[in-house]
């Protein structure tokens, strides 16, 4: 959207607002106004927005002759588009070598403020269309083009406070609360400081005068502090030792920059993430408990902690938006079914940092009971196969939090149970040290069921075939893994032979 069109649009909006039109509003900058117009589902509203465009490439071209226009270079395409009547930018030119590219970048920069539209950089493109095709794309980005940005616009403002926000995964992020300042077309009041190390590196303190810019013309950031304007005695920033949301302990693992709240099962900031993980297929497998329903349950204060899931009644569920009686009953049935689980699934469902499915199974096998795991010291946890110092410390810290232990006990109290037994060290299991790979569709077992059976016998189940693989279990429509096994001379067996191995092992 051109700058003059943007101003005219905002003037019309101000007139409508003065006339009492509550739907009218002014726009912050041309970029946002243009993006909003493009996303409009109502073509009538979009038509009222003064959008402009420059043609810069071709989709499909047809012409009377079979071959169509034959272009060898991007520059030729631009000249043809202009000849056909399409608007093409005048700020385009061929360039040879780095020096000409840099000169063009500088020349456009000199005109930037006087251009009729906003820009944040220039784009260099390989001219040869054959080379463009050869270079191809990476996801959505071409390998044959690159943007050369201009420095972000900067302004001065003051830091009024430094708040600490807690993300959905428990990460704590310090955020500078700024006196409002207009930067790069928007009014900025907040700027992330990323983590304590970054805040200390820049030495940002409350009351400081700071230079602010929008990184990439999008994300506000504090560039630097004007130390000579600092008020005497301004304290250095430090991360709180307890979560500002739930008061659980805050930890920073060795080698990491981020601080994290340890109250994953209790912290309100992490509630939605904790519920979604708890209900996921490889955890408690609660069918029907998806993201939209979790949003409703948490935002409506129906569920404040994991045990509340199992206390919900039929009436409370049917009161939710788009929750029919049948759907409500299906969810209640799924919750009831999920109460019968395994220790490994339950451990994984708790969302303990660094504890994935395999580690959860190793812990369940090594200790046998949940109480033993909860009571284990860091040194005892380190005796579990493949559990190192970072993972052991994470597990120990998690279960040392009273909030987390309380949630676990409440989950037990609502009826969640699993078989427990004596510890079974992996080295003593019958298929210990054997690596299996599953491929294709087995006659009677799902991939997950076969994997659980093999791991229960001490085997490792890998996703890829290598020389270290002992067996490939192949079903119908087995693909490249079967070919790889034959190529490497790895033993290939079917489900019956796998069950025989498991039977012999038992």
What Cα–Cα distance (Å) separates residue 93 from each residue in 110, 334, 499?
16, 64, 69
Give a three-class secondary structure readout of 119-132. CCEEEEECCEHHHH
Give catalytic residue positions.
25
Q: Which residues line the annotated binding site?
A: 125, 149, 243, 246, 267
Q: Is 234 left (phi over 0), alpha (psi -120 to 50) or beta?
A: beta
- Token code pair at residue 110: 């000199």
* DSSP helix/strand/coil, 59: coil
CA–CA distance, 3 with 115 (Å, rounded to integer): 9
Q: Which residues line the annotated binding site for Zn(2+)?
A: 243, 246, 267
Count of beta carbons in the 10 Å neighbourhood of residue 395:
25
CA–CA distance, 79 with 82 (Å, rounded to integer): 5
CB 255 within 8 A of CB 230: no
Provide the terminal-to-terminal Cα distance of the chain, rounded to the nearest Å: 72
CA–CA distance, 416 with 278 (Å, rounded to integer): 13
Number of H helices, E strands in the chain: 20, 15
- Token code pair at residue 208: 């400081």
Class of residue 404 by CB neighbours under 10 A (exposed 0-12, middle 13-18, buried 19+) = buried
* DSSP helix/strand/coil, 200: helix
CA–CA distance, 175 with 154 (Å, rounded to integer): 18
What Cα–Cα distance (Å) separates residue 77 from each residue in 56, 72, 123, 483?
8, 8, 16, 47
What Cα–Cα distance (Å) separates residue 317 from each residue in 302, 306, 313, 329?
9, 16, 6, 9
CA–CA distance, 89 with 270 (Å, rounded to integer): 48
**CA Rg, the chain, in Å?**
31
């Amino acid at each position: 959207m051109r700058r003059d069109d943007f101003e005219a649009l905002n003037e019309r909006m101000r007139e409508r607002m003065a006339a009492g039109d509550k739907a009218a509003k002014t726009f912050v900058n041309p970029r946002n106004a243009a993006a909003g117009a493009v996303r409009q589902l109502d073509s009538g509203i979009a038509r009222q927005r003064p959008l402009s465009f420059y043609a810069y490439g071709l989709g499909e071209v047809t012409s009377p002759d079979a071959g169509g226009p034959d272009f060898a270079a991007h520059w030729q395409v631009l000249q043809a588009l202009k000849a056909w009547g399409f608007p093409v930018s005048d700020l385009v030119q061929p360039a040879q070598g780095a020096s000409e590219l840099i000169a063009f970048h500088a020349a456009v920069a000199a005109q930037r403020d006087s251009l009729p539209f906003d820009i944040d950089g220039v784009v260099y493109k390989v001219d040869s269309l054959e080379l463009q095709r050869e270079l191809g794309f990476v996801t959505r980005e071409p390998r044959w083009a690159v943007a050369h940005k201009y420095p972000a616009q900067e302004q001065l403002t003051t830091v009024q406070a430094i708040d600490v926000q807690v993300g959905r995964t428990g990460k704590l992020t310090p955020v500078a609360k700024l006196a409002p300042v207009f930067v790069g077309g928007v009014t900025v009041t907040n700027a992330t400081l990323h983590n304590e190390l970054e805040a200390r590196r820049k030495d940002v303190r409350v009351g400081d005068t700071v230079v602010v810019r929008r990184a990439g013309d999008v994300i506000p950031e504090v560039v630097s502090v004007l130390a000579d304007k600092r008020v005497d005695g301004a304290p250095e920033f430090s991360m709180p030792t307890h979560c500002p949301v739930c008061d659980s302990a805050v930890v920073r693992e060795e080698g990491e920059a981020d601080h994290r709240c340890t109250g994953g099962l209790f912290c309100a900031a992490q509630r939605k993430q904790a519920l979604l993980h708890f209900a996921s297929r490889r955890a408690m497998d609660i069918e029907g408990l998806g993201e939209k329903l979790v949003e409703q349950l948490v935002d409506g204060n129906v569920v404040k902690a994991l045990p509340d899931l199992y206390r919900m009644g039929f009436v409370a569920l049917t009161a939710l938006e788009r929750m029919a009686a049948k759907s409500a009953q299906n969810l209640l049935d799924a919750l009831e079914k999920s109460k019968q689980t395994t220790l490994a699934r339950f451990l994984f469902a708790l969302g303990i940092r660094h504890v994935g499915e395999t580690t959860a199974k190793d812990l369940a096998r090594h200790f046998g009971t949940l109480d033993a795991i909860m009571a284990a010291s860091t040194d005892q946890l380190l005796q579990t196969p493949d559990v190192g110092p970072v993972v052991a410390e994470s597990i120990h810290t998690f279960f040392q939090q009273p909030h987390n232990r309380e949630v676990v006990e409440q989950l037990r109290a609502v009826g969640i149970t699993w078989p427990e037994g004596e510890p079974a060290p992996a080295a003593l299991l019958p298929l210990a040290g054997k690596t299996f790979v599953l491929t294709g569709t087995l006659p009677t077992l799902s991939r997950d069921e076969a994997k659980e059976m093999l791991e229960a016998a001490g085997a490792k189940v890998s996703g890829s075939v290598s020389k270290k693989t002992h067996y490939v279990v192949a079903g119908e429509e087995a693909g490249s893994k079967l070919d790889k096994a034959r190529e490497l001379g790895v033993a290939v067996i079917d489900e019956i032979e796998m069950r025989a191995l498991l039977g012999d092992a038992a």
